[in-house]
Chain A
């Protein structure tokens, strides 16, 4: 590329952790800042260069009427739009309100509900505009973010694993927590990318990176239930940071119906 591509970072409902991942790439940050023109990144710099931008990174989910309009404008400004993290790709933990009465939620937190403007749902970016690439995780893996930016700068496709957490677990020779401890683990249906930290730390995978392609979480949790794991536990396990991802959502809804019938 003759001139440096421009990069913009936008935030919607989120914890800031995914955009922080760029600042957490301590060894690469100054090199990235040299390779791309960081034109808009409020958390890191005051200078704001107007669009259009070559690369737009979008963190967070859509939860307010204003944000639903703002993402349309951002899409027009970005040649290449990347949603980063579970909020942007699946609606995030705040998508739990999709299962609740949002007015009840507001009343429980705020003394003056009339001051609060919110939609009844929290939805991923791709529900609103065309997204070119999704970067999974809660939070994203900073090395994947650096790989993404590097690939885009060089005009190639970024390389991300599409297999399940289990594959990495076996490669790292981590003892299977589902087998050894008899606990429910979302490793078989969750996309790799985290570095299998949870099983390596002796606990269950809780699905930060969301469902892997062609996964069948419904079958997994039915198997867990048949092995005696309480159904309400399994519903909750599927309903956290990627609760809104369709495979997890369908499986948790199905499991929940079986709780109410039992």
Chain B
């Protein structure tokens, strides 16, 4: 193996959105790592200014086709705080149900169509289906159930139309939700079976000293609400976020990098962070699966994120079934009314890929005067780079093609979602 090498991948695949990675090696030393996000900027925060309050969840959904609910939920909660309105317990649980649907479709898509092929040695879920047809078919059926929840509750799977500030335009029909229970029970059983499968994958040994950050709620696994906590002892309200985290604009990227203050360090958000910090709040079957899957939690290896996703899929099916079982009458009022007035509100929820934070200011004219959105992938970017710095020296023995594949595999641990143009990938490794 020559001491000075260059390897290059033109476009990273099986991620959402477009970006590039550049790694420069000097002998065995990693000299430089940078994520280059070339996803064109779309300026959501700019054009939200001057829009009416009720339009915000329709618009922010369009930031990401894979996790629109995360954007909608964060917008609604933040604007409800700005307006000082409270939603009913029924609305609250229906919102959790909607979020469960998104977690199922997003996690299952990533686990079996995007990430499992790395572990099993295929270039895609489509190729994997030739040898593992049953696994892929079951995964597609699970994913479809997540989408069906989104359709019944949100009107459609991508960019749901039924979400609004204060609640829903129309409460879901009891019968149409109850009808889903037998399929969701199949999904729960299959999710347990799939977890046993992914837990047997071979995980590269990359232990990192992660500062995990997630929401934490005393009574439930974090989705819509909670305080923001971290491995290093942070425990704050979402309103305090900007005092503890900061976004930096790097030359290589149309996405902003977030760092944790005061030292400007990287941190980890997403399924591994959540399972590490909140496993005591998992539903019983998910908790049991976490305990018996052979991985000791908390884990410091983000290759385990596929297992964490699997645990969360079990949780999402369990919680969805629980919510639907307890949904016996349509709420008298599907949304809390409001009158626009000036105010500021911020809120964080847990997108499938991790913590997402929104802040809005409503102006004197009752329209949006200012918007700030911090998506999960921009928060993970610094950590992805740090993981690569630690991982690349371990794989120098492989030829360029294999080493590059391994880097891509590592990056997919994060399920990076870069089409929000606060987003991210082309992988280039230069060895000199």
Interface residues of A (CB under 8 A from B): 11-21, 23-24, 26-27, 29-30, 33, 38, 42-48, 63-64, 67, 92-94, 96-97, 100, 104-106, 108-112, 115-116, 118, 138-139, 194-195, 197-198, 200-203, 206, 208, 233, 236, 240-241
Contact = CB atoms under 8 A, between A and B. Distances in A.
Interface in B52-74: 52, 55, 58-59, 62-66, 68
22 contacts: A14-B65, A15-B62, A15-B419, A15-B420, A17-B64, A23-B109, A24-B157, A26-B147, A30-B129, A42-B11, A42-B13, A42-B18, A44-B13, A44-B113, A63-B42, A92-B42, A93-B44, A105-B43, A115-B250, A200-B155, A201-B162, A201-B170
B65 A139 contact: yes
B64 A15 contact: yes
B294 interface: no
Chain A CB within 10 A, most for which of B13, B47, B250? B47
Contacts of A106: 41, 43
Contacts of B62: 15, 17, 92-93, 138, 241
A93 B42 contact: yes
A67 to B, nearest CB: 6
Most buried by A among B14, B140, B419: B419
A100 B46 CA distance: 10
A227 to B, nearest CB: 18
B126 A33 contact: yes
B68 A17 contact: yes
A44 B14 contact: yes
B65 A16 contact: yes
Contacts of A30: 126, 129, 133, 136-137, 140
Given A13-B40, A106-B41, A43 B14 contact: yes
Contacts of A197: 155-156, 161
B41 A17 contact: no
Given A17-B68, A23-B113, A240-B58, 20 more contacts: A16-B66, A20-B65, A30-B133, A30-B140, A42-B11, A42-B13, A46-B123, A93-B42, A94-B47, A97-B47, A109-B41, A111-B248, A111-B256, A115-B254, A116-B254, A118-B40, A139-B156, A197-B161, A240-B55, A241-B62
A200 B39 CA distance: 35
A15 B65 contact: yes
Interface string B101-136: 000010001000110010000011111010001001
B20 to A, nearest CB: 12
A14 B161 contact: no
Contact of B143 (A13, A26, A198, A241): A26
B51 interface: yes
Contacts of B64: 15-17
Contacts of A27: 140, 144
B127 A45 contact: yes
B379 interface: no
A38 to B, nearest CB: 6
Given A24-B157, A44-B113, A236-B55, A108 B17 contact: no
A111 B52 contact: no
Nearest to A64: B40
B374 to A, nearest CB: 12
Contacts of B55: 236, 240
Nearest to A28: B140
B251 interface: yes
Contacts of A23: 109, 113
B232 to A, nearest CB: 26
Given A26-B144, A111-B249, A139-B65, A16 B136 contact: no
B140 A115 contact: no
Given A43-B16, A118-B41, A139-B158, A109 B46 contact: yes
Contacts of A104: 46
Contact of B127 (A13, A47, A105, A201): A47
A111 B45 CA distance: 13
B254 A44 contact: no
Nearest to B164: A203
B421 interface: yes
B169 interface: yes
A97 B43 contact: yes
A17 B158 contact: yes
B15 interface: yes
Interface in B414-429: 419-421
A233 B53 CA distance: 11
A109 to B, nearest CB: 5
Contact of A17 (B15, B58, B159, B252): B159
Contact of A45 (B13, B168, B253): B13
A38 B129 CA distance: 14
B141 interface: yes
- Among A47, A67, A94, A118, chain B packs the most CB atoms within 10 A around the CB of A94
Contacts of A17: 62, 64-66, 68, 158-159
